[in-house]
Amino acid sequence: MTHFTNKPKDSEISLTACHDCDLLFPMPHLQKGEKALCPRCGALVLERKSCSLDYPLALALTSLVLFIIANVNTLMKMNVGGRSESETIISGVNELYAQGYWEIAALVFIVSILAPLLKILCVFYVLMPLKFNIRLRYAKQAFRFYEILHPWAMTEVYMLGILVAIVKLADLATINTGIALYAFAALIPFMAATDSTLDDHEIWERLEPSD
Amino acid sequence: MKNHPIIAARSGYLLCHTCHLLSRVETNSPHPCCPRCNSRLHSRKTDSLARTWALTLTAYILYIPANLLPIMTVIMSGRGEPDTIFSGVKSLVLGGMWPLALLIFFASITVPVLKLLALTYLLLSVQFKSHWRPRERTILYRITECVGRWSMIDIFVIAILVALVKLGALATIEAGAGAVAFGGVVVITMFAAMNFDPRLIWDAMENDHD
């Protein structure tokens, strides 16, 4: 099945290629919930998700609410000898900038705030019009951008950073956790679920007719 | 006799890397675009080897100041105590925080070193047209691509500590130049992995059939 003896024509059979090893093979006809692996290198070539587009949309909405809560409230408070210092996600960026390390400030801002927010907003921009059958301009560009952003949204790595910081300081001071910490912790599974319920193949197919 | 696998690039097909649509190259235009999402189509990533080499070597060079310079300085009652990545792990071990020490050791030392070595190995194996275990090398590439982000933990810990520990004369924490270099290593190795084209691993296998 994986090897052809003569060159197939477009009209006869629908083909696809593996993005990791460039093997050409017939596009398997998948039922919902099935996935296709490359017969040569084992890469995940195609996956049909079992749920409708309502799922990622609902999950993205939840993520957006949690994201806002996580960013406007305090992550934690440190108390030492009557003095207390509170921390939000953006205050770390501010302090790094104030100390003259704008490079790390920009990096932390992009991967912990900007990229996750843009990712959630891109899901809205692409899925809302599909749900209500409206055509929005730049929907394809938005979905391309969503896929580019993927490796740069490091919400879960930041969460681990928060935990490490808490453990490091636990001996020296009292740490009070804030509501933003819980919102941030909840944001991670919701964002992951948005990604994993989103059927990119279906979305590209439905975006196709426009412009 | 072995069956020859059919390769998209040789059969006049290009796969879009953004939307995964396979299209036939009809025109002789030098810059074909995907008919669906309008991304540029390439049969292989542009200058993949040169770019990946350049970024990997840059990361090696940056890795030196990242380890020698302090990533942060804890100033307690006027006395500064600079911490490098390694001394940070060492003080966690001395403080008895073993799990934390292992986590930071893994994220800040093991992952970047292994990532640089894996990239170098993949580049060399493609350069010398190695035929050895292409499938495993492709898997190595996939791991390299997705594990790099975890090295950012140390940078985030610094961002949180500098904002939290601002107790004036009692204790403050300042970031250090090593953190800039280390952040650079993480970002540059991520770009290096994105620029590497795993299909080059398989191209070496193809040329043998001729």
Convert the pLDDT of each residue in B44-69 to its tens digit: 888 899 999 999 999 999 999 999 99
Q: Nearest residue of A to residue B200 by CA position?
A: A21
Cβ contact (<8 Å) for A85 and B37? no
Q: What is the nearest CA distance from A208 to chain B, expressed in angstroms?
A: 6
Q: Are A86 and B162 in contact (CB under 8 A)?
A: no
- Residue A62 has, within 13 A of its CA and on its CB side, a CA count of 17
Q: Please indicate, yes or no, whether residues B123 and B197 belong to a single structural domain of this protein.
A: yes
Domain boundaries, chain A: 1-48, 54-207
Q: Are A105 and B175 in contact (CB under 8 A)?
A: no
Confidence of residue A33 (pLDDT cuts 50, 70, 90): confident
pLDDT of residue A4: 38
Q: Please indicate, yes or no, whether residues B38 and B78 belong to a single structural domain of this protein.
A: no
pLDDT of residue A3: 38
CA B170 to chain centre: 39
User: Nearest CB to A107: which of B5, B141, B187?
Assistant: B187
How far are the Cα atoms of A49, A55, A121, A128, A186 from residue A62, in angstroms, in the given order?
20, 11, 12, 15, 10
Q: Does A30 touch chain B (CB under 8 A)?
A: no
What average pLDDT does range A54-77 have in this prediction?
Answer: 93
Q: Please indicate, yes or no, whether residues B160 and B177 belong to a single structural domain of this protein.
A: yes
Cβ contact (<8 Å) for A15 and B179? no
The yes-or-no verdict on residue A115 having pLDDT over 90 is yes
User: Nearest CB to B13: which of A4, A15, A154?
Assistant: A15
Cβ contact (<8 Å) for B15 and A22? yes
pLDDT above 90 coverage of chain A, percent: 44
Round the average pLDDT of chain A to a whole number and report it.
86
The yes-or-no verdict on residue B200 having pLDDT over 70 is yes
Cβ contact (<8 Å) for A41 and B138? yes
Distance, CA of B198 to CA of B139 (rounded, Å): 9
Q: B137: which residues sit within 8 A by CB, 6+ positions away? A: B122, B125, B130, B198, B201
Q: Nearest residue of A to residue B34 by CA position?
A: A208
Q: Nearest residue of A to residue B182 by CA position?
A: A104
Distance, CA of A162 to CA of A144 (rounded, Å): 31
Q: Nearest residue of A to residue B176 by CA position?
A: A101
Instruction: Report the range of poorest mean pLDDT among A23-32, A101-110, B95-104, B109-118.
Output: A23-32
Q: Please indicate, yes or no, whether residues B111 and B191 belong to a single structural domain of this protein.
A: yes
Helix (H, G, I), strand (E, B) or coil at A188: helix
Give tens-digit pLDDT for B154-194: 999 999 999 988 877 778 899 999 999 999 999 999 999 99
What domain count does chain B have?
2
ipTM for the complex shown:
0.88
User: Nearest CB to A22: which of B146, B163, B199?
Assistant: B199
- Residue A109 has, within 13 A of its CA and on its CB side, a CA count of 13
Cβ contact (<8 Å) for A161 and B160? yes
Q: Please indicate, yes or no, whether residues B53 and B155 belong to a single structural domain of this protein.
A: yes
Q: Nearest residue of B to residue A6 by CA position?
A: B6
A–B CB contacts, 8 A cutoff, strictly below: 196
Alpha carbon distance, N-terminus to C-terminus of chain A: 36
Distance, CA of A158 to CA of A169 (rounded, Å): 17
Distance, CA of B10 to CA of B12 (rounded, Å): 6
Q: Which of A124, A121, A123, A97 is nearest to A109 (CA)?
A: A97
pLDDT above 70 coverage of chain B, percent: 95
Domain boundaries, position B24: 1-43
Q: Please indicate, yes or no, whether residues B102 and B182 belong to a single structural domain of this protein.
A: yes
Q: Please indicate, yes or no, whether residues B31 and B63 belong to a single structural domain of this protein.
A: no
Give tens-digit pLDDT for A137-190: 888 889 989 989 999 999 999 999 999 999 888 877 888 889 999 999 999 999
Q: Please indicate, yes or no, whether residues B98 and B174 belong to a single structural domain of this protein.
A: yes
The yes-or-no verdict on residue B1 having pLDDT over 80 is no
Q: Nearest residue of B to residue A165 by CA position?
A: B157
Give me the residue label for tokens 């036939």: B24
The yes-or-no verdict on residue B144 having pLDDT over 50 is yes
User: Nearest CB to B180: which of A2, A101, A151?
Assistant: A101
Q: Please indicate, yes or no, whether residues B39 and B52 belong to a single structural domain of this protein.
A: no
Residues 74-133 of A with CB under 8 A from B: 75-76, 78, 80-81, 83, 85, 87, 91-96, 99, 101, 103-105, 107-108, 111-112
Give chain A positions within 8 Å (CB) of B165.
Answer: 78, 85, 169
Distance, CA of B117 to CA of B114 (rounded, Å): 5
Confidence of residue B126 (pLDDT cuts 50, 70, 90): very high
Q: Are A96 and A104 in contact (CB under 8 A)?
A: yes
> Tokens in use for B105?
């050791």
User: Nearest CB to B164: which of A19, A85, A107?
Assistant: A85
Q: Please indicate, yes or no, whether residues B70 and B97 belong to a single structural domain of this protein.
A: yes
User: Nearest CB to A91: which of B5, B146, B163?
Assistant: B163
Q: Please indicate, yes or no, whether residues B117 and B18 belong to a single structural domain of this protein.
A: no
The yes-or-no verdict on residue A194 having pLDDT over 90 is yes
Interface test with B, best of A10, A18, A22 (most B CBs within 10 A): A22
Q: A19: which residues sit within 8 A by CB, 6+ positions away? A: A43, A45, B15, B17, B20
pLDDT of residue B165: 86
The yes-or-no verdict on residue A132 having pLDDT over 80 is yes
Q: What is the nearest CA distance from A185 to chain B, expressed in angstroms?
A: 15
Give me the residue label for tokens 């929005």: A136
Distance, CA of B176 to CA of B66 (rounded, Å): 10
Strands (E), B63-194: 72-76, 79-83, 171-175
Q: Please indicate, yes or no, whether residues B25 and B59 belong to a single structural domain of this protein.
A: no
pLDDT of residue A7: 42
